Amino acid sequence: MEGFTDQQLVQMTLDGELEAYSVLVQRYQKQIYSLTYRLSNNPEDARDFAQDAFIHIYKVLGKYDQNRSFFSWMYKVATNVCYNNLRKIKNKREVSLDKIIEFSPLVGLKENQPEENFVRRETQALVRRAVTELPELYRVPMILRYMEDLTYRQIAEVMDLPLTTIETRLYRGRALLQKRLQAWGEGGPVNEVSGN
């Protein structure tokens, strides 16, 4: 079944072949776990959220429009499930979503350069902190673009927003990020984050 397209596997699942859905889960489990981990910053929560996402995707599979990208649709459903779960956690623990979210390293580290690695780690921590303080309006597209490496079009599909809105939010998100980093005065002026 590995050779089937996403759309074929969806149709097979809807026709009652559960093995087809297992193939879809195996195909995308790493991406969904990565998303839930980046949003929850907790491995146990991330596993639970990913499992909840795949259960919910299965339940609403009949709503999938096969003329659209399955990956983008699935990602949107998983993002919504994750945010719903984070809201429940927030209500239980009375913790701000901004304090839950953390991101993986933005740049790679080299083993033989400890001083450079220290500077990179400090920069990464600063950027993570600045991104987590962005309003959700800008934070989510920034995560999807720069942490999850989605294209603008994929982000538009995931968030169910026009492409121009995504472009605007990413532009403004980068501008806010730059202002925050400059305000913190780390290492002089900070160059604007580049991107498409």
pTM above 0.85, yes or no: no
Average pLDDT over residues 159-173: 90
Query: CB-based contacts of 194: which residues, under 8 Å, 6+ apart?
Result: none
Cα separation, 78 vs 74, in Å, equals 6
Cα separation, 23 vs 129, in Å, equals 37
Q: Is the pLDDT of residue 47 over 80?
A: yes
Q: Name the residue with higher pLDDT: 181 or 43.
A: 43
* Percentage above 70 pLDDT, the chain: 76
How distant is the alpha carbon of residue 134 from its chain centre?
15
Q: Is the pLDDT of residue 94 over 50?
A: no
Average pLDDT over residues 122-130: 72
Q: What is the DSSP string of 63-105?
A: G--TTS-HHHHHHHHHHHHHHHHHHHHHHHHT--HHHH-----
Q: Is the pLDDT of residue 21 over 70?
A: yes
Q: Is the pLDDT of residue 111 over 90?
A: no
- Which domains can be identified in the chain, with CATH numbers? 6-93 (1.10.1740.10), 106-184 (1.10.10.10)
pLDDT value for 70:
92
Confidence of residue 77 (pLDDT cuts 50, 70, 90): very high
